[in-house]
Structure 1
């Protein structure tokens, strides 16, 4: 099993992201996974700028197309609706139409500064099912159209192989990890036949469908069925989200965080400080926060709460104070909230560990190690993608990959 660099949340201009990718490539990681819509195209641009410093022939670039978001969505908003474009929401359109694929591939090649992409994936093509299927009965009505869309996309992708712009193609889909009885399950057993027919349409004797990508982790194991099929067919399996599971529409982060030893002292000192300022409303809020630390599902849920609710309230409340007091209390809040977030991370990790243990997995060391070890032991994964936006994240992942497990970077 190999370790790949998941570039979904990195962006050009973020020096920390650039340093992380550069460090990963310099230390043996060779597979980079990105997409046309990731950070509005800036992910591909960052990958292209860093890859230019290395031997391109030793790297394996994976990108994807399908989503229409960000600046791309603004361009589509003024166009007449097309049957080839799925309008999933006001913020997300989707398409795997042949001309759209080729246009997106041209943009990817330009951003990545490369004449070819090793593997080009259709990104969650089941959005057609999301938009049209509400039951198993309606699934039967729409599934033929779904598979026809995939076939048409495969025909274009085989053409792009002939043109030399890609070396192979495949599908990245969260629906591969669903139960086969789920209305949005994407049937993968027929994909090889569709690829074979697509290749034949160009007079080719062999297809170039090489890869499937899907979420597999300790808490979401249904994807192993798809991975088993893929390995039997000689298809490469890329696992994403090794540390993040979606359970009951909430994210469970499978990562271990230490208890913040200074948390109680800092919290008590902050409450005393607020009492000395007679800041009763702030005191009440801190007490409420202390009681809520264990309720957040994962760090991003807290971060959203901070950005959308807590920070605006603090800004309004501090604005009512004199400048000196406002500055002093703002700094005190910053110190407290830094420790508070550490406590939220610890509480989230404790809950995740209990979920993992309920499935019979005892993580004697970190959950990150446990998660990668689980994927390795399945013997069905070729590459596991880890999002690594900081050099430390790369170092931590490589430590597990190179020393704690008999796997290697790719």
Structure 2
């Protein structure tokens, strides 16, 4: 594993960090993946109070508590605050109902609020440290403060920005007190709009944040920024949006010795669609005739189940309505097909749209089947046909994604040494990012051991001698 210095913090961090956006303390696989990453040389963990409703931070705490070989002083823990959803939303709503609301709360939707007011940040940090079983965070980031700019209404642009940066200054001043208390070592900002055009309504200027921090103290602890960047989203480096068009955000950060963390290195957002920068494995070759046949077989089986439970099972009307509401997997699959472009999207659909309903179908059916031995056989066949349909869909999506990826491979290979040209697309994408000297650490979602292994495969490579050649030459 290669290591870099995290800007003016002088903290030595692994060139790849463990991104914890979708990991949870409920998963043994996630625990094993984090443990493997640390054993492989990763020393930076990036998490947030809202990731998996706090269970991401709890995973870090669980590992610190359970692994005697893991020492807190060997880790660099980065966490964030700002989002209000899930358990945080309950806390905020309860305070409001008691007549003691947090100040500075911005409403984004019924289920999502946002806040960076000092009192809120203080309470959030306390909860984060408790979940992570640690006395301090190495880095504490304001999480996407641009939500204030996006969702505040009734103000002209000048007033909006004036209020926004006043709120940032107030937050920074508070975080300096947290440094003095020893609860954090450094602080910073994670923003998706650092890299955008200054004319954008919710643009966050690193130049302005730098000025604010200097106004507070020349010896301030504003030291780390986080932003998105990948093979398709290059603005962090190529969009000269600061110092009157003289520097990009990445160059400005480097010239002022800020540590830079890169997120979404493998998930590119373009035209409101997400492209996964990875190769995919297919278990067999399938065509659309296979898909049509598997879909029709599963549809008929689901119809038979529906008719059986409507006419044969003696349950209440409410029970029947609940059951039939979930016995609609063919509809969910059919309505989703046109939007799926890669196997990872299918996995999301299965994990969050299909599997929960399948569990409810199975539990309900078992509860009313009694000792009917034939039910088990029917349910097994139903699950088997669903698995067959999902497998064919995966194989077709994998083949199509890999065909698209072949073009990206061809472009990248023009800039890569021969010993790297055989790597996976994700490996190449990560290598291209980590080769940029302005980047301190690339944050990678490593929910599985195989993801950790993919990162490790490129972690010891020497950086490209002229990495910017690709970033500026290729669109």
8 Å contact from structure 1 (residues 11, 39) kept in 2: yes
Match of 1:182 among 200, 207, 221: 200
1:202 aligned residue:
none
1:144 offset after TM fit, Å?
0.5
Looking at structure 2, the residues matched to 129 and 106 of structure 1 have their Cα atoms a distance apart, in angstroms, of 27
1:279-358 alignment runs, 5 A limit: 295-299=339-343, 301-303=345-347, 305-306=349-350, 308=353, 323=375, 324-351=377-404, 354=407
Distance 1:122 1:311, change over 3 A: closer
8 Å contact from structure 1 (residues 158, 198) kept in 2: no
Q: Give the number of the structure whose alpha-carbon radius of gyration is greater.
A: 2
More moved, 206-215 vs 43-52: 43-52
Match of 1:244 among 253, 267, 289: 267
* Per-residue deviation, residues 11-37 of structure 1 (Å, max 9, x unmatched): 112111111111111111100000111
* Per-residue deviation, residues 78-136 of structure 1 (Å, max 9, x unmatched): 416655001111111110000111111111111111111110000001110010269xx
* Per-residue deviation, residues 199-227 of structure 1 (Å, max 9, x unmatched): 3xxxxx50101100010101111122211
Match of 2:129 among 104, 109, 127: 109
In the superposition, the TM-score normalised over structure 1's length comes to 0.84
1:35 aligned residue:
48
Distance 1:358 1:164, change over 3 A: same
8 Å contact from structure 2 (residues 102, 119) kept in 1: no
1:358 offset after TM fit, Å?
8.3
8 Å contact from structure 2 (residues 276, 342) kept in 1: yes
1:7 offset after TM fit, Å?
1.1
Looking at structure 1, the residues matched to 22 and 43 of structure 2 have their Cα atoms a distance apart, in angstroms, of 18
Looking at structure 2, the residues matched to 109 and 392 of structure 1 have their Cα atoms a distance apart, in angstroms, of 29
1:197 offset after TM fit, Å?
2.3
Match of 1:90 among 96, 110, 115: 110
1:101-180 alignment runs, 5 A limit: 101-132=121-152, 138-180=156-198
SS of the counterpart of 1:263?
A: coil
1:73 offset after TM fit, Å?
0.6
SS of the counterpart of 1:176?
A: coil
* Per-residue deviation, residues 330-383 of structure 1 (Å, max 9, x unmatched): 312223313422432443444455578789988954221221122133322110
Looking at structure 2, the residues matched to 368 and 380 of structure 1 have their Cα atoms a distance apart, in angstroms, of 20
Looking at structure 1, the residues matched to 338 and 382 of structure 2 have their Cα atoms a distance apart, in angstroms, of 25
More moved, 369-378 vs 90-99: 369-378
Looking at structure 2, the residues matched to 102 and 313 of structure 1 have their Cα atoms a distance apart, in angstroms, of 42
Distance 1:76 1:356, change over 3 A: farther
SS of the counterpart of 2:16?
A: strand
Structure 2 gap segments, 5+ residues each: 5-14, 238-247, 305-328, 366-373, 466-475
Question: Do structure 1's residue 211 and structure 2's residue 234 form an aligned pair?
Answer: no
Aligned residue-pair number: 397
SS of the counterpart of 2:278?
A: coil
Looking at structure 2, the residues matched to 314 and 164 of structure 1 have their Cα atoms a distance apart, in angstroms, of 46
1:247 offset after TM fit, Å?
1.1
1:406 offset after TM fit, Å?
7.6
1:24 aligned residue:
37
Distance 1:24 1:303, change over 3 A: closer
In the superposition, the TM-score normalised over structure 2's length comes to 0.73
8 Å contact from structure 1 (residues 253, 352) kept in 2: no
1:382 aligned residue:
440
1:50 offset after TM fit, Å?
1.0
CA RMSD of aligned residues (A): 3.8
Distance 1:315 1:269, change over 3 A: farther
